[in-house]
Structure 1
Amino acid sequence: MRYRFLIFVMWIAGVSGAMAQEVLLSKEEAVNLALENNFGIQVARNQVKLAENNKSILNSGFLPSLTGAAGATYNRDDSEIEFPGQVLEDGSPRPNLEIDQAEAQRYNGNLTVNYTLFDGLGRLYNYRSLKEQYSLSELQARETIENTMLQLFSVYFEVARLTENENVLLKALEISRDRITRSEYAFEFGQSTKLDILNAQVDVTNDSISLLNAQQQLANTKRDLNVVLNRSLNEDFKVDTLIRFIPMLELEEYIASAKENNVALLQTEKNLRINEYDIKVSQSGYLPRLALNGSYGWNLNQSAASAFFPGVNNTTYNLNLGATLTWNLFDGGGTAVRVKNAKIAYQNQELLNKQIELEVNRDIENALAIYQNRLNIYHIQEQNVITNQNNFERSREQFQLGRITGIEFRQAQINLLNAQTNKNLAKYDAKLAELQLLQLTGQLLNVDL
C-alpha cells in the first residue's frame, strides 16, 4: 500500500516537472496573438473597412455619372401587294407584286453624362458625416480591442494565479511527504505513535487531491485562454507571473487627461458631430438644385426596298447639352419636419453626452478607489505571508524537536498555504483593477503591461 502511494506521489511530481518545460507565453506575445487572431477583433476591423469604403469619394455623389447604351434591331418582311382594279397598257389586270426577304437593320449607341452642380450642400455635409462615421467605427473597433484585452488579461492572470497556487501546493505536498518520513523514523525509535503516521498520510492525501484539482482547473483555464487567442485548445504553455504596477503619479496624469482619451466620451463627441451634419443635410432641402447633362449619340437605319421606294442607309450623329434648375418651393412640410427631428436628435445627443461624461467620471473614481483598496490588500497579504512563513519555520523547528504536535504543525502549514494563495489572488485582483482604470482613462493600449 505504501509502495503504491509513493508511486502516486512520484507521478504528481513527474507531471509537475513536465509542465515546467512548457513554452513561455509572454504578455506581449499574448496581446499580439489576440490582435491577429481574435474573432471579435477581426469583425471590428472589417466594420472599419466598410466605413472606409463608405467615406470614399466614390460614395460621395460629387462625381458625375456616365451611362452608355447601345441597341440593334433586325426586321425581315415577306409581303405581297395587290392592285385591284388596275390594268396594264394591254388591258390585262396588273399582277400582284411579291417582295421576299426584305431586310431592315437599325443600330444606335449613345453616351449620357449627368452631373449635379449644386444640391443645396446636402452631399457636402453627407460626405463629412461619412468621414465622421468612419472615425466613429475606428473608435468602436478600439473599444472592442480594449474589451478583448481586458478579457485576455483576466484569463491570462487567472492562469498565472493558478500556476503560482500549483507551486504552493507542490511545496505543501513535499513538506507533508517529509513529515511522513520523519513520523516513520520517530515511530521506529519509539518517539511517536502510529497515529502520527496516519495523520501525516491523511494530510498528504488531502494535499494531493488539492494539487490535482488545481492542475485540472489550470488546464481548463489554459483552454479558455486559447479560445481568446483563437488557437488550438490543447496548445500548452506557461505564463509570466511577474507583475509590475504603474506608479500612482503616472496614473494621476492619465486620470487628468481621461476626458480627451476615454473611448466612450470620444464616441459621443463623434455622434454629436454626425447629428450636427444631419441637421444641415435636412436643411439642404430648402435650397434649389442645379444639374448639368449631355449626351452624344449615333444611329444607323438601313431600310429595305419597297414597292415604290428604293432601300436607303441613314446615319445620324447627335450632341445634346443641357442644364436643369429645380427648386422644391413646397414639399408638403416634409423638409421642415426632417429639420425639426434632426434638431431634437441633436439635443438628445447633447444630453446623452452629459450623462455619459458623468458616468465615466463616476466609474473612474470608483475604479481608482477599488484599485487602491486592492493594492493595499495585496501589500497586507504580502506582509501576512512573511509573518506566516516565520511562524511556519519556527513551528517546523519546534516540531522537529518534538515540542509541538503534528496537528499544531499542520495548522501552521495550512495558515502559510492560505496566506500564499490569498496573496496570489490579491496580486492579480489589484492588477486587473489597474487595467480597468487604464481602460477608463483611455490608456489601456498605450502602456507597457
Structure 2
Amino acid sequence: MRKHIINTLSVFLISTTFYAQEVLSKQKAFELTMANNFDIKVIKNNLAIAENNKSIYNSGYLPSITGNVGARYTNNDTDIEFQDGTLNSVAGAESENYNASIGLNYVIFNGFSRQNTFKRLKESYNLSELQARQVMENTIITLFIAYYEVGRLTENEITQKAALTISKKRLERAKYGFDYGQRTKLDVLNAEVDVNNDSISYIDIQRQLNNAKRDLNVVLGRDVNTAVMVDTNVLYDLKMNLADISKEARNKNANLLQSKKNIELSKLDVKINQAGWMPNVGLTSSYAWNRNTGDATNAFSPISNTQTGLSAGVNLTWNLFDGGRTRTNVKNAKIAVANQEIRKAQLQDQLDRDVNNAWETYQNRLFALKAQEQNVITSTLNFERSNERFKLGQISSIDFRQAQVNLINAELSRNNAKFVAKNAELQLLQLAGIILDHNNF
C-alpha cells in the first residue's frame, strides 16, 4: 500500500512539474510578436514618420511668417565746416537705432505642383502602410516557422525518449538473459551500442530543441532564455481552393499592391514636373517699425525719428525657357511610369506562378502527411509484433532493432510532415495577402 502511494505521488509530482509551465498558445505568440518584435517596432516608427510627412505642415499650403528685431548703437566724433568757413565740432555724439518687422510670404499658385506634391505625400504614406504590412507578414511567417520548429522538435524529443527507454529495457533483458544463459554476450554488446546511439540522438534533439526555443524567443522580442512550451496541435484549412486563393492574391498581395501604388506615385511625379512650364504667383506682406535717437550734430538735426509702415505685394514669375530641363524631367517621369507598369505586369505573372506552385506544394504536403501517418500505423503494428516475437526468442536482436528503427523513422517523418504541411499553408496565405486576417495559425 505504501509503495502504491509513493508511486502515485511520484507520478503526480512529475505531472505537476510538466504542466506548471504554461503552454504558449499560437494567438498569444502572435500578440507578443506584434507588441515586442524589433522589426515590427522599427516599421511602426517608420510609419509614424510617413504620417508626419503627409501632414499639411509639410505640404507648402501654409504661409511662411518671419520676424526680425535689431538694435544698433554708435558713438562718433564729427567735424563740420560750412561754406562761410565756420567750423562746428561735436565730440562723442551718440545715436541708437531700434527696428522690428514681421513678414509674410505665401505661394498662391505654382503650376499645381503644391497640390500634386501633397497628394504624393499621402500616397507615400499609403505605400508605407503596405510596406509595414509586408514586414508584419514576413515576421508572422518567421514566427510560426520558429514556433512549429519547436513543436516538431518537442515531438521528436518524445519519440526519441521513448526509443531510448525501449533500448534500455532491452539492455536489461539482454543482461538478465546472459546471466541465465539465455542470451549471448553479442546480444548484450549490441544492446549497449543501441542504447548509446539512442542516447546520442536524444541529447542532440534536446540541443536542437533548446536552440529552436531561443530562436522563437528572439522573434517574440523577449529574453532568449525564457522557458517556453508550444501547442503541438496543428489544424489545416482544408476549405481553401485554388480559385479563391488566386482571386485574393490578385486583390490583396502586398507586393502587387505596392507595385500599383508605385504607378500612382510615378504619375504624380509627371504632374509635379509639368509644373515647371507654369507661372508662379506669390504674395508678400510686411509690417515694420524703426526708431532712431541721437545727439544733434547741428541745429537742424532731429534727436529722434520713428517710422512704422505696412507693405504688401503680388509677384509673378514665369520661367519661359529653362534650357529644356523641365521637358527632360517630364519625359523621364513618363518613362518611369511605363517601367512601373511593366514591373506590375511582371509581378502579376510571378504571383500567378507562385500561387500555383504554393498550392501544388501544399497539396503534396497534405498527401505526404497522410502517407506518413499510415506509415506510423504500419510501423507500430510491425514493432509490436516484433517485440512479442523477440520476447519469445523467435527473432534476433538485429531484427528487433530494425523494427524499432523503422518505427522511430516513421514517427520522425510524420512529425516533420505535420509541420511542413502547415508551413506550406502559411506561405500560401501570405501570397494571398490574408495571413494577418487569418485566425487558424
Give the Å deviation of 1:18.
6.4
Instruction: Indicate the residue corresponding to 1:269 in structure 2.
Output: 260
Structure 1 runs of 4+ aligned residues shifted over 6 Å read: 14-20, 82-85
Answer whether contact 1:114 1:291 (CA < 8 A) is retained.
Answer: yes
Question: For 1:159-178, what aligned pairs fall within 5 Å after superposition?
Answer: 159-178=150-169
**Residues 23 and 236 of structure 1 are in contact (CA less than 8 Å); yes or no, is this contact kept in structure 2?**
no
1:333-390 CA distance string (max 9 Å, x none): 2211111111111111111110011011111111111111111111100110011011
Deviation at 1:108, TM superposition (A): 1.0
After superposition, residues 84-99 of structure 1 pair within 5 angstroms as 98-99=89-90
Q: 1:136 to 1:335 in 2, by over 3 A?
A: same
> Counterparts of 1:325-364 in structure 2 under 5 Å?
325-364=316-355
TM-score normalised per structure 1: 0.90
1:73 aligned to 2:64?
no
Give the C-alpha shift of residue 227 in structure 1: 2.1
Contact 2:242 2:356 in 1 (8 A): no
Structure-2 separation of matches of 1:107 and 1:362: 75
Q: Quote the offset at 1:233 in angstroms.
A: 2.0
Question: 2:411 is matched with which residue?
Answer: 420
Q: How does 1:42-441 map to 2 (within 5 A)?
A: 42-79=41-78, 98-249=89-240, 252-441=243-432
Contact map agreement 1:170 1:211 (CA 8 A) in 2: yes
- CA deviation string 1:66-121 (max 9, x = no partner): 111111111112345678996xxxxxxx8x75534321111111111111111111
Counterpart residue identity of residue 53, structure 1: N
CA 1:314–1:392: 2 relative to 1, 3 Å = same
CA 1:84–1:330 in 2, change beyond 3 Å: closer, same or farther?
Answer: closer
Task: Give the distance between the partners of 2:125 and 2:301, measured in 1 at CA.
Answer: 66
- Which position in structure 2 is the counterpart of 1:90? none
| Whole-angstrom distance in 2 between the partners of 1:15 and 1:132 | 59
Q: Quote the Cα distance in structure 1 between the aligned partners of 2:90 and 2:400.
A: 124
Contact 1:168 1:420 (8 Å CA) reproduced: yes
Shift of 1:17: 9.8
**What SS class does the counterpart of residue 416 from structure 2 fall into?**
helix
Q: C-alpha distance in 2, partners of 1:203/1:283?
A: 80
Q: Deviations over 1:157-208 (max 9, x none)?
A: 1111111100001111111122123223333443322332222222111111
Shift of 1:307: 3.5
Paired residue secondary structure (1:257): helix
The one-letter code matched in structure 2 to 1:183 is A
Distance change >3 Å, CA 292–CA 397, structure 1 → 2: same
Q: Which digits, 9 at most, give the CA deviation of each residue in 1:391-420, with x for residues without a partner?
A: 111111111222112221111110000000
Tell me if the contact between 1:254 and 1:443 (Cα under 8 Å) persists in the aligned partners: no
**Matched residue count:** 428
Query: Is contact 1:395-1:412 (8 Å) kept?
Result: yes
Contact 1:79 1:98 in 2 (8 A): yes
> Is the CA contact (8 Å cut-off) linking 1:276 and 1:346 kept in structure 2?
yes
Q: Which residue of 2 aligns with 1:34?
A: 33
Code of the aligned partner of 2:430: Q
Structure 1 window deviating more from structure 2 (58-67 vs 44-53): it is 44-53
Percent of residue pairs identical: 48
- Checking the alignment, whether the CA contact within 8 Å between 2:97 and 2:292 is kept in structure 1 is yes
Compared with structure 1, are the counterparts of its residues 81 and 118 closer, same or farther at alpha carbon in structure 2 (3 Å cutoff)? closer
Aligned equivalents of 1:424 and 1:270: distance in 2? 42
User: Which of 431, 434, 444 in structure 1 is aligned with 2:435?
Assistant: 444
**SS in structure 2 at match of 1:315:** strand
Question: Could you tell me how far apart the structure 2 residues matched to 1:251 and 1:34 are?
Answer: 30
Segments of 5+ residues of structure 1 without an aligned counterpart are: 1-13, 87-93
Q: Is the 8 A contact 2:75 2:95 kept in 1?
A: yes
Q: CA deviation at 1:254?
A: 3.2
Provide the secondary structure at the position in 2 that maps to 1:172: helix
Q: SS of the counterpart of 2:285?
A: strand
Specify the SS of the correspondent of 2:42.
Answer: helix
Quote the Cα distance in structure 1 between the aligned partners of 2:339 and 2:14: 61
Classify 1:82/1:291 alpha carbon distance in 2 versus 1 (closer, same or farther; 3 Å): closer
Give the whole-Å Cα distance in 2 for the aligned partners of 1:256 and 1:390: 45
Pair 1:25-2:24 in alignment: yes
| More deviation, 324-333/392-401 | 324-333
The AA in structure 2 aligned to 1:314 is N
Q: CA 1:84 to 1:442, structure 2 compared with 1: closer, same or farther past 3 Å?
A: closer
8 Å Cα contact 2:365-2:420 kept in structure 1: yes
Query: Structure 2 CA distance, aligned partners of 1:127 and 1:79?
Result: 59
Q: Please, which runs of 5 or more residues in structure 2 have no aligned partner?
A: 1-12
- Code of the residue aligned with 1:67 in structure 2: it is T
CA distance in 2, matches of 1:107, 1:318: 14
Matched residue SS, 1:222: helix
Q: Distance in 1 between matches of 2:233 and 2:94?
A: 91
Matching residue's letter, 2:434: Q
CA deviations over 1:195-241 (Å, ceiling 9, x no partner):
32222222111111110111111111222222222322221211111
Q: Which amino acid letter does the alignment assign opposite residue 225 of structure 2?
A: N
- Report the equivalent of 1:11: none
Question: Normalization by structure 2: what TM-score?
Answer: 0.91
Report SS of the residue matched to 1:70. strand
